[in-house]
Amino acid sequence: MTTETMDAAIRYEVDADGICTLTLDLPGEKMNVLGGRLTTPLDEACQRAVADAAVKGIVITSGKPAFVAGGDLKAMGEGFDYSSLSKGEIAYRLGSLSRMLRALEQCGKPVACAINGTALGGGFEIALACHYRVVADDPEIQLGLPEANVGLMPGAGGTQRVIRLVGVKAALPLLMQGKILKPADALAAGLVHEISPVGEIVTAAKRWLRAGGDPVQPWDKKGYVIPGPHSTLEREFRGIFSGSNAMVRANGLGNYPAPELISSVIYEGAMLPMDKALGIESKYFSLLRTGDVSRNLIRTMFVNKGRADRLEARPEGIEKLNFRRIGVVGAGLMGGGIAFAAAKAGMEVVLIDRDQESADRGKDYARKKLARDVEKGRSTQDKMDAVLARIKPTTDYAELGDVQMAIETVFEDFAVKSEVLPRIEAAIPADAFIGSNTSRMPITRLAGSLAAPERLVGMHFFSPAERMPLIEIIRGTATGAQALAHALDFAQAVRKTPVLVNDSFGFFTSRFIGSFVGQSLAMLNEGVSPALIENGARMLGMPMGALSISDLMGLDTGYKAAQQEARDRGEEPPITISSRLVTEFGRLGSKVGKGYFDYGEDGSKRIWPGLAALLPTLSEQPSIDEVKARILYAQLAEGARAFAEGVLVDAMSGDLGACLGVGFPAYLGGPFAAMDTIGVPQVIVEADRLAGRYGEAFALPKIVRDMADRGETFHGATAVLSPGAMAT
């Protein structure tokens, strides 16, 4: 037996039977991340094994807990400098792993893959190129090709091998939705050949090799045909794509190229021999890899989200707080949701309201949601009981005597909050901190009601709180480093992404979504058709139009908030179309079946015909592109103004807050990524045009013009320094 280290990344061992084991083990890394550091030595090791006459067969396995967890998203999030290359050269370069794996499966010697741990993306593609795949019997192992979720597609033969193994119909969800499989599911689907006990997979792989493993892939055998429909001459094949194409277009609105190009690579690849099919895959892959959408998705939703999740913004030198017991004061919708989220994360929750009935109702929120999970098989009765047992509804502030933090979630009224906060302060231990769940009230002002204002930190949750992935953490002028650090710890403990912002009215997310709603209502008041306003938002990629959002939230809720806000600002409440709907017509929103829309019992909705009489109608309606531009640029300009005013610590927080909190389209990567993608000078031209026609909502702050002059961007090497950057 020979053992030697050919390259640090790959261990090369040949046993007495002539079986060469290649162990992927990237030095100095916790995981085998796919990249040139791994694939170049793997290629060399494979070529060496093939050339070595003593080697009869090859086993590929990993020296890390995971096999190969996928590509290097961090590198991908930086984009890809292809400016000097032709499109063909780019596709060729990006196809290097694909060609290497094709050579491996045609090398003439049998190759087995011993999948010891999670194999995703490119890692799973390596496995698919082997003639035999044995995976460890561990249900925690994840197998699959999730590239679609980051705006990409498999680019190393994965699409073509999957359709040749399982057929086009079964391949669609695996490739287009990036479905992840457990080993047992992968075996049932036909993607792996064998499941073996943990620790015995290399033995199992060698057993297959010794038994005369076949060195020819099924698709390289004469007479091979793809299982199931695989040609446009088959009605079922056409039906699969007609249906799938319609759904992709209906729901993606043409904003997400990955599912579209994945459809093409499956459709076209199924009708081609393997080598031509792989060439097609490389071409389509290169289009996604060099596109704006994958870069924006990866940078915001994975790289930057990861940085926020790791609490990069957390003040140093403060011990991490492990939450055992917290208080939630105010058992309404938000309080109930927050209590539920905390209880699910294993915390004891004291849930307080004015009367026991209200407090119990807050706990019922969790009970109802859990019961549905149990009913649908997503949870068990035991787990449900355990979570509920951790929530204690009460009216007694004394129960807060041993909590580590308390969050107030009472009504958005300065007077009410100012009354509750001191009561909480008096009840909780001296080292505990207080979070205020408010969507817009300045924390600095609220802190004025406390004896120790440094204990208060803003914690803006989004509804439904147990599901929405974001918490906006607001640092008031007085907020102490400890409260801030522990608020971030809490976000991590309940598995939500925190974005840290500076204090101001509406912070970031509320004023940001306000610009979307405000611009939509401005159009409505000008006489733009409600259908155009709603569809424009949807087509831009917003989850729903502003009128639908208003109806869903309750027009009365919005009306009361506007009244309150005006009072808080010392202004006269304005009479708006939505206030008229509430006060004159009793149209309170979707909960009563009527708001801007009339809601049918079958779930249908139609614009309320009476709306037309309350509004002017423009004889010449704007184009849908103009409506989309107004909805987009109102948000870009508001984001830029918040950035200029120092509300945002950095552009990344704005992108995350917008995408995770208030539905800004992820394909744009957030308002700041979007401005970089469009180009800051182009943003100025369009925003100035819109400001000239429609007013101040599109006014850009000076910093954006300075950025254009200096050639700066919001992200990357030429990034501008955020006026709100804080030393933490």
Partner 1 sequence: MRDILIYDHVRTPRGKGRKDGALHEITPVQLATQSLAALKTRNALPADSIDEVILGCVSAAGEQGATLQRIAPILAGFDDRTPGLQLNRACASGLEAISIAAGKIAAGMVDLAISGGVESMSRIPMGADGGGPHGADPAVTFHTPFVMQGVSADLLATLYGFGRDDLDAYAVESQRRAAHAWNSGYFAKSVIPVTDVLGTVVLDRDEHMRPEADMQSLGALKPAFKDMGEHVGFDKIAIQRYPEIIGIEHVHTAATSSGIVDGAGAVLLGSAEVGARLGLKPRARIRSFISIGSEPILMLDGPTPACRRALAVAGLDVGDIDLWELNEAFAAVPLRLMQTLGIPHDKMNVNGGAIALGHPLGATGAMIAGTLIDELERRDATIGMVTLCAAGGMGIAMVLERV
Give 156: exposed, middle or buried? Use CB within 10 Å, 0-12, 13-18, 19+: buried
- Give the whole-angstrom CA distance, residue 28 versus residue 180: 28
Each residue of 480-511: b (16+ CB within 10 Å) or e?
Answer: bebbbbbbbbbbbbbebbbbbbbbbebbbbbb
CA angle, corner 369, sides to 364 and 371, nearest 5? 90
Nearer to partner 1, 328 or 627 (CB): 627
Rounded to whole angstroms, what are the CA distances from 332 to 328, 354, 364? 10, 11, 10
Minimal distance in Å, beta carbon 486 to partner 1? 45
The span of 66-74, 229-237, 499-507, 691-699 binding partner 1 (CB under 8 A) equals 229-237
Taking each helix axis from N to C terminus, what angle separates 168-176 and 235-252, rounded to the nearest 10 degrees? 20
Pick the piece of the chain touching partner 1 (CB under 8 A) from 18-26, 165-173, 240-248, 389-397.
240-248
Q: Please, are residues 410 and 480 in contact by the beta-carbon 8 Å criterion?
A: no
Count CB neighbours of 575 within 10 A: 10
| Shortest distance (Å) from residue 390 CB to partner 1 | 41
Strand-pairing partners, residue 460, are: 472
- Cβ proximity to partner 1, 84 vs 619, nearer residue: 619
Compute the CA torsion angle 285, 289, 292, 294 (nearest 10 deg): 90
Q: Tell which one of 2, 3, 5, 232 touches partner 1 (CB under 8 A).
A: 232
Contact call for residue 718 and partner 1 (CB under 8 A): no
What is the number of other CB atoms lying within 10 angstroms of the CB of residue 727?
Answer: 4
Piece of 103-111, 259-267, 425-433, 503-511 that binds partner 1 (CB under 8 A): 259-267
Q: Specify which residues 433 forms β-bridges with.
A: 405
Cβ atoms of 589 and 595 within 8 Å: the answer is yes
Contact pick of 348, 408, 534, 638 for partner 1 (by CB under 8 A): 534
User: CB 91: neighbour CB atoms within 10 A?
Assistant: 22
Least spacing, CB of residue 71 vs partner 1, in Å: 24
Amino acid making up residue 720: V
Three-state DSSP class for 645? coil
Residues 667-696 that bind partner 1 (CB under 8 A): none
Q: Cα–Cα distance between 407 and 496 in angstroms, integer?
A: 16
Is 542 a binder of partner 1 (CB under 8 A)?
no
Active-site annotation holder among 147, 425, 466, 638: 147
Q: Please provide residue 695's backbone torsions phi and psi, each rounded to the nearest 5 degrees.
A: 105, -165
| 408 φ/ψ angles, rounded to the nearest 5 degrees | -90, 135
CB of 219 to partner 1, least distance (A): 22
Interface pick for partner 1 out of 16, 233, 430, 451 (rule CB under 8 A): 233
Annotate each residue in 605-644 with x if it binds partner 1 (CB under 8 A) or - if it does not, as one string: xxx-------------x--x--x-----------------
Among the candidate windows 44-52, 97-105, 230-238, 717-725, which touches partner 1 by CB under 8 A?
230-238
E strands within 348-484? 348-352, 391-394, 405-408, 433-436, 456-461, 470-475
* Segment 266 to 295, residues that bind partner 1, using CB under 8 A: 267-268
Q: Which 3 state secondary structure label does DSSP give 340?
A: helix
Active-site residue, selected from the candidate residues 125, 348, 534, 638: 125
What SS3 class is residue 192? coil
Between the alpha carbon of residue 4 and those of residues 12, 64, 66, 537, the distances in Å are: 6, 18, 23, 61
Q: Phi and psi for 317 in degrees, rounded to 5?
A: 80, 10
Minimum Å distance from CB 618 to partner 1?
12
Q: Provide the 8-state DSSP code for 302.
A: I
Binding residue (CB under 8 A) for partner 1 from 242, 322, 617, 718: 242
260 binds partner 1 (CB under 8 A): yes
* One of 41, 146, 536, 665 touching partner 1 (CB under 8 A): 536
Pick the stretch among 87-95, 466-474, 529-537, 668-676 that binds partner 1 (CB under 8 A): 529-537
179 versus 238: smaller Cβ distance to partner 1: 238
Judged by CB, which is closer to partner 1: 444, or 550? 550
181 and 191 Cβ atoms separated by less than 8 Å? yes
Min separation Cβ 605 and partner 1, Å = 7
Does position 550 interact with partner 1 (CB under 8 A)? The reply is: no
Question: Does 125 qualify as catalytic in the annotation?
Answer: yes
CA distance 295 to 662: 21
Q: Which of 529, 550, 653, 677 is in the footprint of partner 1 by CB under 8 A?
A: 529
Q: What angle do CA 79, 311, 640 make, to 5 degrees?
A: 55
Q: Which stretch binds partner 1 (CB under 8 A): 39-47, 244-252, 421-429, 464-472?
A: 244-252
Candidates 239-247, 425-433, 442-450, 716-724; binding stretch for partner 1 (CB under 8 A): 239-247
Indicate which single residue of 2, 203, 251, 583 sits in contact with partner 1 (rule: CB under 8 A). Answer: 251
Does position 172 interact with partner 1 (CB under 8 A)? The reply is no
CA distance 169 to 191: 14
348 tagged catalytic: no
Residue type, 581: L
Site for partner 1 in 580-599 (CB under 8 A): 597
Q: Is 149 in the site for partner 1 (CB under 8 A)?
A: no
Binds partner 1 (CB under 8 A): choice among 115, 532, 588, 674: 532
Q: Name the minimum Å distance from CB 253 to partner 1.
A: 6
Distance, in Å, from the CA atom of 455 to the CA atom of 443, rounded to the nearest integer, reads 11
CB of 623 to partner 1, least distance (A): 9
CB of 607 to partner 1, least distance (A): 6
Q: Which of residues 596 and 698 has its CB atom nearest to partner 1 in the complex?
A: 596
Indicate the residue among 268 and 454 with the shorter CB distance to partner 1.
Answer: 268
Interacting stretch for partner 1, rule CB under 8 A, among 254-262, 322-330, 641-649, 697-705? 254-262
Q: What residues does 408 pair with on adjacent strands?
A: 329, 436
Considering only residues 247, 566, 618, 685, which one is a binding residue for partner 1 as defined by CB under 8 A?
247
Q: Are 554 and 560 in contact (CB under 8 A)?
A: no
**525 binds partner 1 per the rule CB under 8 A:** no
531 binds partner 1 (CB under 8 A): yes
* Among residues 530, 639, 670, 724, the one that binds partner 1 under rule CB under 8 A: 530
Measured between alpha carbons, how far is 500 from 161 in angstroms, rounded to an integer? 44
- In angstroms, rounded to a whole number, what is the distance separating the alpha carbons of residues 587 and 551? 9
Rounded to an integer, what distance in angstroms lies between the CA atom of residue 540 and that of residue 121? 29
Q: Which stretch binds partner 1 (CB under 8 A): 21-29, 93-101, 534-542, 702-710?
A: 534-542
Q: Is 551 in the site for partner 1 (CB under 8 A)?
A: no
Give whichever of 209 and 265 is closer to partner 1, judged by the CB atom.
265
Number of residues that bind partner 1 (CB under 8 A): 39
Where does this chain bind partner 1 (CB under 8 A)?
232-233, 235, 237-238, 241-243, 245-251, 253-254, 260-261, 263-264, 267-268, 529-532, 534-536, 539, 597, 604-607, 621, 624, 627
- Catalytic positions: 125, 147
